[in-house]
Structure formats: structure tokens, C-alpha cells
Amino acid sequence: MLNIRIEKTTNPKPLPAADDPLKFGTIFTDHMFIMNYETGKGWHDARIVPYQPVVLEPSAMVFHYGQEMFEGLKAYKAADGRVLLFRPDMNAKRTNNTNKRLCIPQIPEEDFVDAVKALVKVDAAWIPTKPDTSLYIRPFIIATDPFLGVRPSDTYQFIIILSPVGPYYPEGLDPVKIWIEDDYVRAIRGGIGEAKTGGNYVASMAAQLKAHEEGYSQVLWLDGVERKYIEEVGAMNIFFKINGTVITPMLNGSILPGITRNSVIALCKEWGIPVEERRVSVDELYEAAKNGTMEEVFGTGTAAVISPVSHLRFQDHVLQVQDGGIGELSQKLYDTVSGLQRGQIEDTRGWVVEVK
Ligand code: PLP
Ligand code: COI
């Protein structure tokens, strides 16, 4: 059990009003978790303190070479008052996979989960309860050595902040329009695409601006070598239902291994729906849209949950997915995943963890 010192704020902020739309990622709670690392000493001084600025030297390595990682998960309040997390052990595992790639020290999985639980417990009053709202949890690690040479840092801070949120996309569960990018590339195999680190997101911004200007809400990335095969969306993994089979790009080293993706694959298999994890080309999508076998397209992610896609644009072609509405499977997955997360559906898979 991680030993955490708790210093509560003497100046709590007002909670958001009941009718606040909780625009994603704009409001922060009263407290944050911090733990330091130093080579030779390991992770130490775990504490929960009032939410406050982080003070770093301008020479801190994170500012120069991007040695940082982040995670994203959510806490929910069930109707009976229980506070629930969804598969936090998977975020702990992915943290360590990311850390390995970025030369950041490992964090014991149970310490990661203990830290998340302890902070959520302190700020549990901030968990919103309206439909489609939750408390977004953002753990992250930054390299803090004051040094300008390129090497892994010897000191780090692991920080967790919390943000009460509504839907990630203003569209909510309404279908989004997606832009297939054939000029910019997000990641290549052997690079850092499967790590959850800021570098992947800054690499995505220029294309995202371009897509927004054209009226599309997200970018769908192609592989960086042939620019032919589908990878993932800016903040989601992507699924296609073609002729009764659910197809998603296989994890090839340049795609983030999504926890929602993993859960959706498991649910579809339980429901007897054939699932294929493999390469999917843009040509195959064209063909399926043309011959009427493209039944559904949806993205999956912690922030986005299940997000139906109505249109895909590639170069000058627009593929419309069926009538542009919410597909039957997308709706069922949304209801099931969010029902489990909110304790409305009984958890038989050990996915839901209560914060006590
Ligand atoms: N792909 C990217 C690039 C993401 O940022 C996210 C969000 O975390 C996902 C996929 C979905 O991952 P998860 O389901 O674990 O949230
Ligand atoms: C998440 O779903 O947790 C994400 O990381 C999306 C984020 C980039 C807002």
C-alpha cells in the first residue's frame, strides 16, 4: 500500500453548477497527487496537496526533449453512491509500457492504482452525476533534471489531476465526420506511436486544423509507410462493421493499444460477432461503401467512449456510412460500456473497481 500524505485545501473552490455543460478538460478539482523520483532513491514522497502550479526550472528536460507521458481514465458515481473506476490496472500496465519506450522509470502497478483511488476519494464530491458526465483522471510524468544534454532524466514527477467532464465531442453520441489524412503522418512502426506521450499529439495538430477547416471533427491516420492502411483517430481507435464482421486495425507498433478497444473486442466476441484484428486499407473501405456492405463505423476511447462516424472523407471523395445515423451495434456497445462503467450493468469480468 502506497503511503500517501494528505494535505487538504483550506480554500475549496465552488463545485460546478448543476447545469454547467462541463466542457471537456476545462475545470479542475481542489487537489492533485504528486510523487517524486530520483535515481538511487526511487519513487518517494507521495502526497495529495491542494491543486496548484508546478514550479520547474526553465532548463527542466521535459521542456526541451519531450520526455513525458500521460494516461486517461475516468471515475463514475453509481446511482447507489459507489465510486467506480473502469479497468485502472490496464492504465497502470500501459503506463509502464510507455515508460519503457521513453526511458522513464517503472511505477509499481498497485502504486499507480492506489494513487488514483486516493485522489478520487479526496475529491469524490466533484464526480458529476448527470448522464454522459464523469470525472476525467489525468495521470502524467515529466522529466525534471535541469540539463540541456540529450539523455534520460534522473529526476521525475508523477502527477495526477482531475477534471469533471461532459462529452469529449460537442456532438455527444451524435455521429462525427472524419477526415482521412494522406499528407501528414502521425507515427511509424518503431517510433513512439504506441506510447501515450505528448509528441504523438503535437504531431497530429496540423492535420487536425486542416480537417476542422473542412468541417471534419477528427483525423483518421494512415500508416506512415504506404499511406494505404488505416491506423487510428486522433483520440480514438477505429472499428468498421463490414458485412456482419467487426474489423479493427491490428496493433502494429504505431497505434495506441486502447483499453476501450480491448473491451469492445471482448464484448463483440462474447456476443458471437466475428471480430478481425488486421490490416484494413482505404480501398477496402471504398469498396464496402460502394457495394453497400459498410454497416457501421465507430471510434472507441476513454474520453470519447463509443463515437459513431457518419462520414469519411478521403481526398475528394466522401463516404457516407449508411443513413448517417447511430448504428445498432454502436448503440449497444455504448449502452453496455457506459452501463458497466456507471454500475448500471453487473460486472462479471472484473473490469469495474470500486474506490472505497
Ligand atoms: N488512440 C489515441 C491516439 C488516444 O489518445 C486514445 C485515448 O486514450 C485512444 C486511442 C483510446 O484509448 P483508450 O480506449 O485506452 O482511452
Ligand atoms: C483519452 O481518451 O483519455 C485521451 O487521451 C484523449 C485525450 C487526448 C483527450
Domain-embedded: residue 170: no
Predicted confidence band of residue 339 (pLDDT cuts 50, 70, 90): very high
Cα–Cα distance between 42 and 92 in angstroms, integer?
Answer: 17
Which residues contact ligand 1 via a Cβ below 6 A? Answer: 72, 232, 235-237, 256, 258-261, 300-302
Domain boundary among 165, 200, 224: 165
State pLDDT tens for residues 196-210. 999 999 999 999 999
Q: Which of 82, 79, 72 is nearest to 121 (CA)?
A: 82
Say whether both 216 and 331 belong to one domain.
Answer: yes
Which among 89, 137, 256, 333 is the best mutation to test ligand 1's pocket, defined by most ligand atoms within 8 Å of the CB?
Answer: 256
Instruction: Point out the ligand nearest to the CA of residue 168.
Output: 2
The answer for residues whose C-beta is within 8 angstroms of residue 17's C-beta and 6 or more apart is none
For the cut 90, the answer to whether the pLDDT of residue 30 exceeds it is yes
Mutate to test the pocket of ligand 1, among 97, 237, 238, 306 (most ligand atoms within 8 A of CB): 237
In a domain, 353, yes or no: no
Q: Give yes or no: residues 55 and 115 share one domain.
A: yes
pLDDT at 324 over 80: yes
Mutate to test the pocket of ligand 2, among 160, 168, 259, 306 (most ligand atoms within 8 A of CB): 168
Residue 174 has pLDDT above 90, yes or no: no
Residue 105 in contact with ligand 2 by CB distance below 6 A: no
**CA distances (Å), 175 to each of 42, 145, 241, in order?**
46, 44, 15
Q: Is 302 in the pocket of ligand 2 (CB under 6 A)?
A: yes
3-state secondary structure of 340: helix
pLDDT digits (tens, 9 = 90+) for 32-72: 999 999 999 999 999 999 999 999 999 999 999 999 999 99
Q: How many domains does the chain contain in total?
A: 2
pLDDT at 193: 97
Residue 351 lies in a domain: no
CATH number, domain of 24, equals 3.30.470.10
Q: Are residues 47 and 108 in the same domain?
A: yes
- State residue 172's pLDDT score: 78
What band does 173 get if pLDDT is binned at 50, 70 and 90? Answer: confident
At 223, which CATH number? 3.20.10.10
Q: Does residue 124 have a pLDDT over 90?
A: yes
Mean pLDDT over each residue of the chain, to the nearest integer:
96
Would the pLDDT of 170 be above 90? no
Q: Pairing relation of β-strands 68-70 and 73-77?
A: unpaired
pLDDT band at 311 (very low <50, low <70, confident <90, very high): very high
Q: What is the band of 219 on the pLDDT scale with cuts at 50, 70, 90?
A: very high
Q: What is the 3-state secondary structure (H, E, C) of 255-305?
A: CCCCHHHHHHHHHHHHCCCCEEEECCEHHHHHHHHHCCCEEEEEEEECCCE
What is the domain extent for residue 94? 5-165
* Domain termination site, one of 144, 165, 186: 165
Per-residue model confidence (pLDDT) at position 36: 98
Hey, what's the cell of 111?
502504486
Of 158-162, 169-173, 190-194, 341-345, where does mean pLDDT reach its minimum?
Answer: 169-173
| Domain match, 246 and 154 both | no
**Mean pLDDT to the nearest integer, 260-268:** 98
Confidence of residue 343 (pLDDT cuts 50, 70, 90): very high
Nearest CA, atom 3, ligand 2: 72
Residue 171 belongs to some domain of the structure: no
Q: In terms of domains, do 68 and 22 share one? A: yes
Distance 11 CA to ligand 1 centre (A): 34
> 138 with 206, same domain?
no
Cα distance between residue 226 and residue 205, in whole Å: 21
Distance in Å, CA 235 to ligand 2 centroid:
5
| Mean pLDDT across 154-163 | 98
Index of the ligand 2 atom closest to the CA of residue 304: 2
* pLDDT band at residue 142 under the 50/70/90 scheme: very high
pTM of the entire predicted model: 0.97
Same domain, 68 and 204: no
The confidence band for 253, taking pLDDT boundaries of 50, 70 and 90, is very high
pLDDT of residue 192: 97
Q: Is the pLDDT of residue 190 over 90?
A: yes
Residues 138 and 246 reside in one and the same domain: no
Please name which of 163, 147, 3, 9 lies closest in space to residue 72, comparing C-alpha atoms: 163
Across the chain, which distance is largest between two alpha carbons, in Å? 64
C-alpha 258 – ligand 1 centre gap (Å): 5
